[in-house]
Amino acid sequence: MEKYLIVGLGNPGREYEATRHNTGFMILDAFAKASNIVFEDKRYGFITSTMVKGRKLFLLKPSTFMNLSGNAVRYWLDKENIPQENLLVVVDDLALPLGTLRLKGNGSNGGHNGLGHIQQLIGPQYARLRVGIGNEFPRGGQVDWVLGEYDEEEQKTLQPVIERSIEIIKSFALAGLTITMNQFNKKNA
């Protein structure tokens, strides 16, 4: 049976729950709810698993805080013996407008501390789903922006993005990275 590790990046704790920086957590929460599965508090994170057409998907929300996400990723890849090409990290991205999704097979961390730590520990060769959170903040206001909550209008834009992200995650496991990139990245152009 093929296994996949789907990691949503965010920060644990109620004070971060609805923030832009927790968009990865929000997407995995929606996936778990739609699949009728529940996260358990385990080593380095909250984890659950589900089957999608014969493939086992482990959903992980690291409890290490964003800047140490690599610890959780490396631990669960090793523990479940999941090949790195079966890793998909779902992450918020300031460089993309709200509502935009970009699936990539590798690349830089784009200044994102969570991706930076993962790359420090396992290298840049892993898939990531970048979820645009926009960048409508004044100079020097980046931290307040990413740790701020979505307003009502933004939440309306975000809902279909969450649903499309779940489709992308399933396609990644079923059809592979290249086919999924070709299918979904065009929709966002």
pLDDT digits 0-9 by tens, 75-125: 999 999 999 999 999 999 999 999 999 999 998 888 888 999 999 999 999
The total number of structural domains in the chain stands at 1
Annotated binding residues, written as ranges, equal 16, 65, 67, 113
Q: Mean pLDDT throughout 49-68?
A: 95
For residue 20, is pLDDT > 60? yes
Q: Look up the domain containing 151 and give its range.
A: 3-185
Condensed to tens digits (0 to 9), the pLDDT of residues 33-46 reads: 999 999 999 999 99
Q: Express each pLDDT in 111-124 by its tens digit.
A: 888 999 999 999 99
Q: What is the CATH number of the domain that holds 115?
A: 3.40.50.1470
For residue 63, pLDDT beyond 70? yes
**Does the structure show a pLDDT above 90 at 160?**
yes
Q: Is the pTM of this model over 0.85?
A: yes
The predicted pLDDT at position 188 comes to 52
User: Which range, of 132-136, 161-165, 176-180, averages the lowest pLDDT?
Assistant: 132-136
Whether residue 187 is predicted with pLDDT greater than 90 in this model: the reply is: no
Q: Is the pLDDT of residue 185 over 60?
A: yes
Catalytically active residues, by annotation: 21
DSSP assignment string, the chain:
--EEEEEE----SGGGTTBGGGHHHHHHHHHHHHHT---EEETTEEEEEEEETTEEEEEEEESS-GGGHHHHHHHHHHHTT--GGGEEEEEEETTS-TT-EEEESS---TT-HHHHHHHHHH-S-SEEEEEE------TT-HHHHHTSBP-HHHHHHHHHHHHHHHHHHHHHHHH-HHHHHHHHHHHT-
pLDDT for res 125: 93
Binding-site residue positions for tRNA:
16, 65, 67, 113
What confidence category does residue 189 fall into, taking pLDDT thresholds of 50, 70 and 90?
very low
